[in-house]
């Protein structure tokens, strides 16, 4: 078997890449352990352009590195880089990064606790853009809070991807994910529930709860199920922000995680939005790590 960087071939490399992502999640939770459906949706997503820029690195034992690429608009490229725990990380990651698309602003994310990864990207010319804090607490009973009379709370038992897409557009505008297969893969993960804040004008709030995909092996049950329940998305449209709805929505999400039997609750918040971080700290969360978002301006 040859070694070095090769173009990703979906049918040939899919199983190896899924195993690689699981390996990285088990060791340090630095990258998400994607399901087969999620990897398929990521490959088929318009932003991936059929994976033409995806790359794998093969060593003596097979695939020991992968770079999954998404094109964001016309000037940016998002990179998910994963290297096997027993591989020569600087060499494999460096070879993959050398194969990244040129004339783009390259975006990537790594955990602050993975100091080697942060140092690798900084040495390769990446600079920090911003950080998300990752907060966690033990699970216990949650006291639900009332919503105002003009709003109500609803759990969507049908997991309707079209409804989710419409809500995301109301909340995030042009930055919302609209690709239905991607959303279907996202909500097909075991234990996922969609919670909506409804008003007479439709859905204006959202909370997605699921098992955290980025947790180390010690935070998984023998079956592989995550012990950590994640508030993956808590958002409100601009029309209902600053009306006292965030905390009731967060409490509803936490209660859904408690009902699902998770031992821990986790959430992420943009460190630039201190009010959001403080909201979770008041709910008993403590910061356990940070996600560092980095960029290299190769288009300069």
Q: What is the pLDDT of residue 191?
A: 85
Contact 148, 244 (CB under 8 A): yes
Model confidence at 262: pLDDT above 90: yes
Domain boundaries, the chain: 4-101, 140-262
What the block records as the tokens of 259 is 């009902």
Q: What is the torsion angle, in degrees rounded to the nearest 10, for the CA atoms of residue 261, residue 263, residue 269 and residue 273? A: 100
Which is it for strands 228-236 and 152-156: parallel, antiparallel or unpaired?
Answer: unpaired
Q: What is the pLDDT of residue 21?
A: 94
Q: What is the pLDDT of residue 225?
A: 87
pTM recorded for the entire structure: 0.91
- Alpha-carbon distance of 203 to 118, in angstroms, equals 39
Q: What is the pLDDT of residue 2?
A: 67
Give the mean pLDDT of 223-240.
92
65-79, 218-232, 284-298: which has the minimum mean pLDDT?
Answer: 218-232
Query: Which CATH superfamily does the domain covering 140-262 fall into?
Result: Gcn5-related N-acetyltransferase (GNAT) (3.40.630.30)
Model confidence at 109: pLDDT above 90: yes
pLDDT band at 29 (very low <50, low <70, confident <90, very high): confident
Model confidence at 299: pLDDT above 80: no
Model confidence at 1: pLDDT above 70: no
Q: What is the pLDDT of residue 90?
A: 93
Question: Under CATH, which number does the domain 4-101 receive?
Answer: 3.40.630.30
Which is it for strands 76-83 and 105-111: parallel, antiparallel or unpaired?
Answer: parallel
> How confident is the model over 184-226, as pLDDT tens digits?
999 999 889 999 999 999 999 999 999 988 888 888 888 888 8
Give the mean pLDDT of 276-294.
95
Judge if 4-101 and 140-262 fold alike in CATH terms.
Answer: yes
Give the mean pLDDT of 83-104.
94
Give the mean pLDDT of 230-259.
93
Contact 60, 3 (CB under 8 A): yes
Spell out the SS3 assignment of 33-86.
Answer: CCCHHHHHHHHHCHHHHHHCCCEEEEECCEEEEEEEEEEECCCEEEEEEEECCC
26-30, 73-77, 236-240: which has the minimum mean pLDDT?
Answer: 26-30
């Amino acid at each position: 078997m040859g070694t070095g960087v090769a173009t990703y071939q979906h049918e040939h490399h899919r199983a190896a890449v899924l195993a690689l992502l699981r390996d990285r999640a088990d060791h340090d939770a630095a990258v998400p352990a994607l399901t087969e459906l999620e990897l398929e949706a990521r490959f088929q997503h318009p932003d991936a352009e059929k994976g033409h820029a995806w790359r794998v690195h093969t060593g003596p034992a097979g695939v020991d590195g992968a770079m999954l690429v998404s094109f964001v608009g016309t000037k940016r490229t998002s990179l998910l880089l994963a290297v096997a725990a027993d591989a020569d990380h600087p060499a494999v990651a460096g070879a993959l990064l050398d194969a990244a698309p040129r004339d783009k602003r390259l975006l990537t994310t790594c955990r602050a606790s993975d100091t080697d990864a942060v140092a690798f990207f900084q040495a390769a010319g990446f600079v920090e853009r911003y950080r998300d804090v990752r907060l966690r607490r033990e699970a216990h009973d949650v006291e639900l809070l009332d919503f105002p009379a003009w709003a109500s709370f609803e759990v969507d038992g049908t997991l309707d991807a079209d409804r989710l897409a419409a809500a995301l557009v109301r909340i995030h505008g042009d930055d919302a994910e609209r690709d239905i297969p991607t959303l279907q893969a996202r909500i097909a993960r075991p234990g996922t529930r969609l919670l909506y804040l409804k008003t007479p004008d439709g859905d204006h709030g959202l909370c997605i709860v699921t098992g955290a995909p980025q947790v180390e092996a010690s935070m998984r049950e023998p079956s592989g199920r995550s012990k950590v329940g994640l508030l993956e998305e808590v958002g409100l449209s601009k029309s209902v922000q600053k009306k006292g709805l965030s905390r009731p929505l967060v409490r509803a999400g936490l209660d859904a995680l408690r009902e699902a039997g998770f031992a821990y609750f986790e959430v992420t918040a943009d460190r630039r939005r201190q009010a959001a971080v403080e909201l979770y700290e008041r709910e008993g969360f403590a910061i356990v790590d940070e996600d560092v978002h980095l960029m290299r301006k190769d288009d300069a």
